[in-house]
Amino acid sequence: MWHTIVRPESGGNPNAVSPNGYRGLGQTKEGWGTGSVAQQTQGMVNYATSRYGSVSNAISFRQANGWW
C-alpha cells in the first residue's frame, strides 16, 4: 500500500493537501485524513476494504486508474 497508494498520492507526507482539498497520506476528504499516521493508515485500510473489498483490490484499482 505504501509504494502503490501512499507514495503516489501524498509522497508519504501525512500533512499533504492537494489543490482540490484532499488531505493526508491517502488523499481523502474523510476526517481520518487529518488524524495521526496510525489513524490515517487505519482509515485507508477501512476505506480500501469498504470500497474495493480488500487492500489488494484497491491497489489494483489504483494501478489501473491512477487514483483510488
Of 24, 29, 20, the residue nearest 9 (C-alpha): 24
Domain extent, residue 12, equals: 2-65
- What per-residue confidence (pLDDT) applies to 59? 98
Q: How confident is the model at residue 18 (pLDDT cuts 50, 70, 90)?
A: very high
- What per-residue confidence (pLDDT) applies to 46? 97
CA distance 43 to 64: 22
Using the CB atoms, write b or e for 35-61: b if 16+ within 10 Å: beeeebbebbeebbeeebeebeebbeb
- What per-residue confidence (pLDDT) applies to 64? 98
- What per-residue confidence (pLDDT) applies to 17? 98
What is the domain count for the chain? 1
- What per-residue confidence (pLDDT) applies to 9? 96
23-64 pLDDT, tens digit per residue, is 999 999 999 999 999 999 999 999 999 999 999 999 999 999
